Amino acid sequence: LIVGGEPRGTLYGVYGLLEDHFGCRWFTPAVSRIPKQPDLSVPISSYRVIPTLEYREPFVADCFDGDWAARNRMNSSSARLEEKHGGKVTYFGFVHTFNMLLPPEQYFDTHPEYFSLVSGKRLKERTQLCCTNPDVIRLVTEAVHKNIREHPEATVFSVSQNDWYNYCECDKCTALAESEGTQLAPVLALVNHVAKSIAQEFPDKLIDTLAYQYTRKPPKTMRAEPNVIVRLCSIECCFAHSFETCDSMENVAFEQDVIEWGKICKRLWVWNYNTSFSNYFMPYPNLRVRNDNIKFYAANNVKGIFEQDVYTTLNGELSGLSGYLNAKMLWSPGYDEDTAINEFLDAVYGKAAPLVREYIDLIHNRVEAENIHMDIWIGPQHELLDHGVLELADHIWDVAEARVADQPD
What would the DSSP string read from start to end of 292-335? HHHHHHHHTTEEEEEEE---SSSS-TTHHHHHHHHHHHHH-TTS
Confidence band, pLDDT 50/70/90 cuts, at residue 344: very high
What mean pLDDT do residues 397-403 have?
Answer: 98
Grouping H, G, I as helix, E, B as strand and the rest as coil, residue 106 is: helix
Tens-place pLDDT, residues 62-106: 999 999 999 999 999 999 999 999 989 999 999 999 999 999 999
SS (H, E, C) 258-302: HHHHHHHCCCEEEEEECCCCCCCCCCCCCHHHHHHHHHHHHHCCE
Helices in 124-183 by DSSP H: which ranges? 134-150, 171-180
Q: What is the pLDDT of residue 44?
A: 76
The residues with which 229 forms a beta bridge, in sequence order, are 208
pLDDT band at residue 42 under the 50/70/90 scheme: confident
What is the C-alpha separation between 11 and 84, in angstroms, rounded? 10
* Mean predicted lDDT score pLDDT of the chain: 96
Residue 102: closest CA among 33, 51, 160, 36: 160
**pLDDT score, position 284:** 97
CA-to-CA dists, residue 322 to 92, 288, 369, 379, angstroms: 26, 11, 22, 19
What DSSP element (H or E) covers 30? none
What distance in Å separates the CA atoms of residue 17 and residue 24, rounded to the nearest whole number? 9
Neighbouring CB atoms inside 10 A of 10's CB total: 14
The residues, any chain, with a CB within 8 Å of residue 86's CB and separated by 6 or more, are 6, 7, 8, 11, 70
Looking at residue 9, its pLDDT comes to 93
Give the pLDDT confidence of 247-275 residue by residue, as tens digits: 999 999 999 999 999 999 999 999 999 99
Residue 40's pLDDT is what? 86
Whole-model pTM: value is 0.96
CA 305, CA 178: separation in Å to the nearest integer?
29
Q: CA–CA separation, 295 vs 59, rounded Å?
A: 19
The stretch 358-372 carries a mean pLDDT of: 97
Helix, strand, or coil (residue 249): helix
pLDDT at 43 over 80: no
* Predicted confidence band of residue 222 (pLDDT cuts 50, 70, 90): very high
User: Rounded to an integer, what distance in angstroms lies between the CA atom of residue 258 and that of residue 273?
Assistant: 15
The confidence score (pLDDT) of residue 358 equals: 98
Cα–Cα distances in angstroms (integers) from residue 111 to residues 101, 104, 108, 123, 125, in the given order: 15, 9, 5, 11, 14
Stretch 365-389: mean pLDDT, rounded?
A: 96
pLDDT at 167 over 90: yes
Cα distance between residue 253 and residue 330, in whole Å: 24
DSSP state of 20: I
For residue 48, count other CB atoms closer than 10 A to its CB.
7
Q: Binning pLDDT at 50, 70 and 90, where does residue 220 land?
A: very high
Mean pLDDT of 32-42: 90
The mean pLDDT value for 238-246 works out to: 97
Longest CA–CA separation in the chain, Å: 76
- The number of angstroms, rounded, from the C-alpha of 73 to the middle of its chain's C-alpha atoms is 15
What percent of the chain clears pLDDT 90, i.e. is strictly above it? 94
Q: Percentage of the chain with pLDDT > 70?
A: 100
pLDDT in tens, 345-354: 999 999 999 9
- Amino acid at site 268: L
Find out whether 68 and 28 touch, Cβ atoms under 8 Å: yes
- Residues with Cβ within 8 Å of residue 84, at least 6 apart in sequence: none
pLDDT bracket for residue 370 (50, 70, 90): very high
Q: How far is the C-alpha of 194 from the C-alpha of 119, rounded, in Å?
A: 28
- Say how far apart CA 2 and CA 6 lie, in whole Å: 13
Residue 186's Cβ-side half-sphere holds a number of Cα atoms within 13 Å equal to: 25
pLDDT of residue 37: 86
- Give the gyration radius of the chain's Cα atoms: 23
Of 17-26, 209-218, 300-309, give the lowest mean pLDDT range: 17-26
Q: Which residue has better confidence, 7 or 279? A: 279
